[in-house]
Amino acid sequence: MPNTKHSEQQLAKVIENRLSDWRCGALVYQVLVDRFAPAENLAAKQTLYPAPKKLKQWHETPKHGEYLAEHGLWSHEIEFWGGDLTSLQNKLDYIAELGMDILYLNPIHHAYTNHKYDSLDFHQVSPEFGDRQAVKSLTDATHAKGMKIVLDGVFNHMGQNAPIFKQAAADKHSQYRDWFDFNPDYPAGHRSWSNAVNLPELNLENIQVRQHIWLDEDSVVQSYLAQGIDGWRLDVAHDIGFDYLAELKAAAQSVKADALIVGEIWCYPQQWFPSVDGVMNFTAREIFWHVCEGTIAPATANQMLAQMVSDAGIDNLLKSWLVLDNHDTARLPNMLPEQKSQRLAQILHFTFPGSPTIYYGSELGMTGGDDPEMRAPMRWDLLNNNAILDWHKHLLKIRKNNPALKVGEFRTIITQQLVAYERYTDQVADSVFVVVNPNPHPVEEYLMLSNSKLMNMGGMYDLLGNISESIYIKAGVIKLALPAHSAALLKADTSAAHGYTTYKRVK
């Protein structure tokens, strides 16, 4: 017979350790530096955007442009809005007041385009954004607000305008020739990411490349961490592969033991640990999206989510970033036009194991289709009297006030028509039972809540305030009725009514 007391003591220690690790269940805010806040000295920066680059007005929205064959890129890739690290730093109060734990920046490496995924020099910061000292200033200011900062590392490839690539392409005897893969069989004559001529891939098998990027003490990865940043989000990490990711993580954590290494991995997450601390959990995103639009049945979604937690391990998922939208996807309102469906996806986003990531402006209801529309400048004009922002603040407050949602364990609830699971710790008062009805019709079901600490005939209440009638637990079973496209976040009422509670000896 299992020693329940010992198991509970073990779980209590696990929960304590997770709560003390900033990487577990963190709230992440993603920013494109060029598009977040306009620089105050924009007129003085005009020279940083020479033709064919264009500096746009903040109220303008990005549109798909034309392919510039002579430059090997699209015209919308070299349209800028003028944000920089200083203008971002001036808006830190807004991010901190939302309650975010991590500020994540899309690439700031010196690069030719606005998105900066075509680095010219990893060690340098793009002059439109600032310099390494500006990074240090932003890092210190972020830490002063009680937040961490994570940068985007684009280490699978560089840009065709990188001086070392140009030298290597022009001179077969260049010391950098073997940093890349030149071969006439490739459309551009060199291996490039997704055959995009502007993104020549690095030959990571060359140890000098890895020494430059992460192995050496003065490498890109190690030097930024030594300067104060807290981690790296790795672009197209699946292209880097298991072994080199593990080597990079070890190098990073030799500088800062709790440095966070998160991989952009559009694959099922199971086997990518421990090569990375976390993945960007696009598998969860697909399930959330499709169950909320009605193309995955709720019972199937429950099975998928349970298998993913079992396969990947909850501690790995807690460090993984949950995204509903980001700079590579259409924004949520464009994916799920019905606001009630959006809200259900957001409830799943904030309650499933992981680190919910908010793409700048999503909390304001910003819209945007495929690239580059989803990269519009921040709509600061939407800040006041915004019901979507109020809704996000409500969810963020619930998340902050419930440790089980941040770092708790996970178990599914058996159901046919609902998405349902429990997040729990060693304390019954912490448990949150997440129940979502994505159907276009009301659902009434009996649900078995497999938590032995729930007291018979004990009451439950809804953190969302959607259920006003009393819900009572009878021998571990509740009867729940949910309207169409609605949800409940149920908790056991362990308080003492008239000085008495059945939870007097059960915690």
Catalytic residues: 235, 264
Q: Which of 153, 179, 201 is the last residue of a domain?
A: 201
**Is there a domain that residue 423 lies in?**
yes
**Is there a domain that residue 179 lies in?**
yes
Q: Which of 201, 223, 252 is the last residue of a domain?
A: 201
Q: Which of 201, 216, 232 is the last residue of a domain?
A: 201
pLDDT at 1: 39
* Domain encompassing residue 458: 409-492
Q: What is the mean pLDDT of residues 278-307?
A: 98
**Is there a domain that residue 218 lies in?**
no
Cβ(141)–Cβ(176) below 8 Å? no
pLDDT at 366: 98
The dihedral built from the CA positions of residue 192, 198, 199 and 205, taken in this order, carries a sign that is: positive
Give φ, ψ of 305 to 5 degrees.
-65, -40
**Is there a domain that residue 54 lies in?**
no
CATH number at residue 428: 2.60.40.1180
**Is there a domain that residue 416 lies in?**
yes
Q: What is the mean pLDDT of residues 493-506?
A: 88
Give me the DSSP letters along 335-388.
H--SHHHHHHHHHHHHHSSSEEEEETTGGGT----TTTGGGPPP-GGG-SS-HH
Q: How confident is the model at residue 6 (pLDDT cuts 50, 70, 90)?
A: low
pLDDT at 61: 96
**Is there a domain that residue 438 lies in?**
yes
Q: What is the DSSP letter of 442?
A: -
pLDDT at 5: 57
Q: How confident is the model at residue 129 (pLDDT cuts 50, 70, 90)?
A: very high
**Is there a domain that residue 186 lies in?**
yes
Res 498 pLDDT > 80: no
Domain count, the chain: 2
Res 368 pLDDT > 70: yes
Q: Which pLDDT tens digit goes with each residue over 318-366? A: 999 999 999 999 999 999 999 999 999 999 999 999 999 999 999 999 9
Report the predicted TM-score, pTM, of the whole model to 2 decimal places: 0.97
pLDDT at 8: 86
CA distances from 238 to 11, 24, 33, 220 (A): 33, 22, 25, 20
Q: Which residues, at least 6 apart from 416, have a Cβ–Cβ distance to it below 8 Å?
A: 298, 299, 445
Query: Cα 269 to the chain's mean position, in Å?
Result: 14
Q: What is the DSSP letter of 180?
A: B
Q: What is the mean pLDDT of residues 39-67?
A: 93
**Is there a domain that residue 340 lies in?**
no
Give φ, ψ of 159 to 5 degrees.
-110, 155
